[in-house]
Structure 1
Amino acid sequence: MKFVPSVIVKACALTTALSAVSFSSFADSPNFPHISTTGYGEVVAKPDMATFSVKVVESTMTAEQAKATVDKVVSSFLTKLQSAGVEDASINSSNIYLAPQYHYPKTGKPELVGYRASRNVTVQVTDLTNLNKYLDIALGEGINQIDNIQLQVRDQAKYQEKARLEAIKDASYKAKSLASGFEKELGDVWKIDYNAQSVQPVLMRSMAMDARTESSTYQDSTITIRDRVDVVYQLED
């Protein structure tokens, strides 16, 4: 069963300033009566894709053995992913990281006790229903650490546009309400300040290497996409 993104749109009512001079977020202060408003909007969407990062870590007595073990696990994992239908473009495998491990006695020089090797693999999941299957493959092939799972939404630009339009409506509504409350007429827009809002994906960390423990949690999660706009309106007598 495929997940279909569902959207709930709402506007957040926050404080709006009414003044004869602009507040600090507007560098150029107009010399006429005006209202400065900030509009907020947000879209709540159900995730339908994900990106997860896993790592295999191995410590052995020799660098060659540590590297060989890690490379074997990663190679097997990538082969199984490709067999499961994951495209090469959706997989990113890092180079191996190899570091000596030392024991530090209270006296004397550090003692070399072995080598630690690790490699990361990041996988983009275009169908969220396959996430559990890919994580199970990782477990079965010897991956011993899940770094994170980022839940995401397809067509993010479309949802960002919805949030932006809600922010514009919110700013306009506040300006009209304030002008009416102070028995003033709302004039034209004098200035618009806009900075695109960054979207934070839903980040989940697995405390244990068991993909099933997170399954119900990420399937029921939502992503909130926010936007804002700062607007200065002229006031008419």
Structure 2
Amino acid sequence: MQRSLIPNTLTSLFIYGCVFTVPLIQASEISFPHLETVGVSLLTVEADMAEINVEVAIKAKTAKEAKSLSDKAVSKFIERLKAAGITQADIQSANLYLQPQYQYTKGKPAKLIGYSANRKVIVKVKALTRLNSILDSALEEGINRINNIALKTSKETEYLTKARTAAIIDAKNKAQSIAEGFGEKLDGVWEIRYFEQHPVRPVMLKMNEAGPNYDIAESYQQGQVTIKDRVEVIFKLE
């Protein structure tokens, strides 16, 4: 559900302007009367899905044992994911980080004391109502680190289009207002600069305790996603 389309302000113009290093054509390079504007938009929507990044970190005496234990935890977690209806396409687990562990004592050579194995699993959860149970199942199967939970929207393309349209309208409205304020008239567009924005800025999921009988599962379903866009335009003046 769309929440709000926040109109730009001079402050937001300054903030977004700091992001880009490529300027419009310098005024001295244009020999006719013109007006430069920057249109921006900010769209806040409800999150309806998430991407979780979890990890198993194992220490063992041998490299083989460390790898085996980490592989087992990941394998069991994936089995539970598939049993819960998560498809293989929404699971990434093809990684392994294995390194020796040493004990250092002053005046003595380093002593090999074992190995550590780390494997990450990234899961796309398409229903936030299932997020809490998936996190619980990860921990139950030996996944001992939750690195990140990023909220997302399944309607990303639709909202990106809306944000782009809003930025274009913003640029036009500014140009029209400024030109009229100086008693001038616009005479079409001379140049448009558009830089693809990062599609979605995920909001980190936070658990909010509402009271002694709060619903833990529901607390993992609250959050928003912010989508923004920007367009730079040079208008000709009559």
TM-score (norm 1): 0.85
1:203 Cα deviation from its structure 2 partner: 4.9
1:38 Cα deviation from its structure 2 partner: 0.5
Distance of 2:70 and 2:103 partners within structure 1: 23
Distance of 2:98 and 2:216 partners within structure 1: 31
Aligned-pair RMSD on alpha carbons?
2.2
What's the counterpart of residue 10 of structure 1? 6
What's the counterpart of residue 25 of structure 1? 23
What's the counterpart of residue 68 of structure 2? 68
Task: State which of 191, 214, 225 in structure 2 corresponds to 1:223.
Answer: 225
Deviations 1:152-199 (A, max 9, x none): 111211101111111111111111111111111222111111112113
1:26 partner amino acid: L
Aligned: 1:234 with 2:236: yes
What's the counterpart of residue 48 of structure 2? 48
Q: Percent of pairs identical after alignment?
A: 42
1:205 Cα deviation from its structure 2 partner: 7.6
What's the counterpart of residue 154 of structure 2? 154
Deviations 1:96-155 (A, max 9, x none): 222110011111210011111111111111112111111111011111001111111112
What's the counterpart of residue 39 of structure 2? 39
Secondary structure in 2 aligned to 1:204?
coil
What's the counterpart of residue 209 of structure 1? none
TM-score (norm 2): 0.85
Secondary structure in 1 aligned to 2:85?
coil
- After TM superposition, the runs of 4+ consecutive aligned structure 1 residues lying more than 4 A away are 212-215
Report if aligned partners of 1:150, 1:201 keep a CA contact under 8 Å in 2: no
2:58 partner amino acid: E
1:110 partner amino acid: A
Q: 1:226 to 1:134 in 2, by over 3 A?
A: same
Distance of 2:171 and 2:141 partners within structure 1: 53
What's the counterpart of residue 103 of structure 1? 103
Q: Structure 1: 5+ residue runs without aligned partners?
A: 17-23, 207-211
Secondary structure in 2 aligned to 1:202?
coil
1:11 partner amino acid: P
Distance of 2:37 and 2:163 partners within structure 1: 17
Q: Structure 2: 5+ residue runs without aligned partners?
A: 14-21, 207-214
**1:62-141 alignment runs, 5 A limit:** 62-141=62-141
What's the counterpart of residue 181 of structure 2? 181
Q: 1:188 to 1:44 in 2, by over 3 A?
A: same
Distance of 2:229 and 2:58 partners within structure 1: 44
Aligned: 1:191 with 2:187: no
